[in-house]
């Protein structure tokens, strides 16, 4: 069983791994629970691991493959010892051609709900809300 600091470090590794594998479905998808829910930067809700795989593979075959994100963890709060809410700032780097439609913002507030199964943490929910420039 992990103590709280070990759990925080494991969660930081999970978030870093999700960032590093964002363009590799075979390594990204296992970081999620089978029943995961993802609401992306544009507001599209994807329900379940199978739907996430389909959406991810479709996006990677489109110009969206050239949109890369970096996540900065700002807070980790434990709801229970096996459930945490992770607050991040998502920084968005758009490398698409100049005629691509504009993204909603260049940064977003990303919230993960992560759950522990044994010593492995997985993403149960990811929700990104664009941060609009003032």
Q: What is the CATH number of the domain that holds 88?
A: 3.10.450.50
In tens, the pLDDT along 61-74 reads: 988 889 999 999 99
Q: What percent of the chain has pLDDT over 70?
A: 99
Confidence check: pLDDT of 14 > 80: yes
* Tally of structural domains, the chain: 1
* 116, burial (CB in 10 Å: exposed 0-12, middle 13-18, buried 19+): buried
Q: Can you give the pLDDT at residue 114?
A: 98
Domain hosting 72: range is 4-130
Confidence of residue 89 (pLDDT cuts 50, 70, 90): very high
Would the pTM count as exceeding 0.75?
A: yes
Q: Which residue from 36, 27, 124, 28 is spatially nearest to 82, judged by alpha carbons?
A: 124
Q: Can you give the pLDDT at residue 42?
A: 86
């Amino acid at each position: 069983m992990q103590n709280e600091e070990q759990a925080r470090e494991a969660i930081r590794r999970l978030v870093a791994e999700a960032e590093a594998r964002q363009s590799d479905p075979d390594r990204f998808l296992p970081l999620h629970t089978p029943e995961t829910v993802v609401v992306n930067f544009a507001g599209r809700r994807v329900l379940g691991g199978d739907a996430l795989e389909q959406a991810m593979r479709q996006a990677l075959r489109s110009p969206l493959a050239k949109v890369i994100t970096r996540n900065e963890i700002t807070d980790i709060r434990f709801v229970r010892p096996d459930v945490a809410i992770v607050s991040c700032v998502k920084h968005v780097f758009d490398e698409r051609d100049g005629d691509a439609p504009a993204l909603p913002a260049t940064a977003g507030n990303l919230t993960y709900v992560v759950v522990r199964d044994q010593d492995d943490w997985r993403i149960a929910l990811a929700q990104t809300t664009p941060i609009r420039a003032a």
